[in-house]
Chain A
Amino acid sequence: MNFDLLALSKELVLALEKNDQICADQILDQIAGLRETQLFNELGRLTRQLHDTMVSFTIDSKISEFAEHEIPDAKERLHYVIAMTEQAANQTLTVVENLLPISAELNAQVEILSGKWGRFLDREMPLEEFKSMTQEISKHFSDSQISQQQIHVGLNDILMAQGFQDITGQIIRRVIDLVQDLETSMIKLISISSRKTSSGEASTMHHELPGPVVPGVDDKAGDVATSQVDVDDLLSSLGF
């Protein structure tokens, strides 16, 4: 092209030297045409660039979707995990704190009574003391019955508190999925911006199931049952 321009320019100089105005005008038109071709080429290049940008923009918009919704959502979910694990730990600790003195009290009673019982078996116990011991034994029986029931209820509460592991496990799995999707999108974006061909592999971001309801995240639309009572109401409306 530069060669064309150079040749035309030389011809233009010649024409001007010869004072051939018509010829000079023709050459000038040719040069202008050459510029137009360059302009079109440049325009074509820009169009191509725009197209590429648009393609990368569709992925970019997915990343902005991550930034706008998915990441804050994931943060809420992880906060809920903290809240649930904290609740479970507190629930367990409370039960343990309540049961330890009960168990200690029972232990103390048994220790005193077994000492007395030993003296009774060795026939070292006066009748009066024996009478009071029978009352103590009766009291121990009724006390230990109540205590055993309390221990039983407490152990069941500890058992139930472990349910957090299932719920939080499910929530964390979903956050891991999100991180993987984000990673995939970032890789695609990088490969496009570095002009390498990208495989048009579709995003794996789909959750077959909504999973555990996280308060403030999943219950906004009002289409979830927030308690067992809700579930029971819904089922009874279906004839259950």
Chain B
Amino acid sequence: MDKNMKILIVDDFSTMRRIIKNLLKDLGFTNTVEADDGKTAIPILEKGGIDFLVTDWNMPGMTGIELLKVVRSNPQLAKLPVLMVTAEAKREQIIMAAQAGVNGYVIKPFTAATLKEKIEKIFERLDG
């Protein structure tokens, strides 16, 4: 796992973006950028250079699941690892996210240990 990889954090609440950013920093990932919903995330992703996407689900403008679908349907981005960090906890939604091709799913409120574990698991699978 490359600690210098560029991570895009997408959440409509700036407090949550700060929390995730600081947690990632604590895990050694300092190269982060932020967006407040799917619509603002897409141009950043299309510009290239993003190695990992951490996104919320429920956002105005464009939701995380829509963003995930856009990512998976874009040949340049299709293989981008995506971690969903969301308060949405309905079983049908978790299944929906899995079917849309999410790499990991963390429900809020979460712990630093959970975030670390899921990120490690995602990259273990990708590298392995």
Contacts and interface: CB of A to CB of B under 8 A. Distances in A.
Contact of B94 (A159, A212, A225): A225
B11 interface: yes
Interface stretch (B1-9, B13-21, B38-46, B70-78): B13-21
Contacts of B16: 163, 165-166
Contacts, number: 88
A227 B108 CA distance: 9
Contacts of B108: 163, 166-167, 212
Interface string B17-54: 01100110010000000000000000000000000000
Given A159-B23, A163-B19, A211-B87, A223 B92 contact: yes
Contacts of B92: 223
Interface string B104-118: 011111111010000
A182 to B, nearest CB: 22
> Which of B16, B26, B89, B105 gathers most chain A CB within 10 Å?
B89
Contact of B91 (A156, A162, A212, A225): A225
Interface in A140-195: 156, 159-160, 162-167, 169-170
A213 interface: yes
Contact of A160 (B88, B90, B93, B111): B111
Nearest to A84: B109
B98 interface: yes
B126 interface: no
B89 A238 contact: no
Contact of A162 (B19, B26, B89): B19
B88 A211 contact: yes
Contacts of B111: 160
B30 to A, nearest CB: 16
28 contacts: A156-B22, A156-B26, A159-B112, A160-B111, A160-B112, A162-B18, A163-B15, A163-B109, A164-B109, A166-B15, A169-B13, A208-B63, A209-B63, A211-B87, A212-B87, A212-B89, A212-B108, A213-B87, A223-B90, A224-B90, A224-B91, A225-B94, A226-B89, A228-B114, A230-B89, A231-B105, A231-B107, A234-B91
Given A166-B11, A212-B87, A225-B90, 20 more contacts: A156-B22, A159-B22, A160-B111, A160-B112, A162-B18, A163-B16, A163-B108, A165-B13, A167-B109, A209-B57, A209-B63, A210-B93, A211-B87, A211-B88, A213-B89, A224-B91, A231-B89, A234-B91, A234-B94, A238-B98
Q: Give 7 closest A-B pairs by Cβ, nearest first.
A: A212-B87, A166-B13, A166-B16, A165-B15, A225-B89, A213-B89, A224-B89
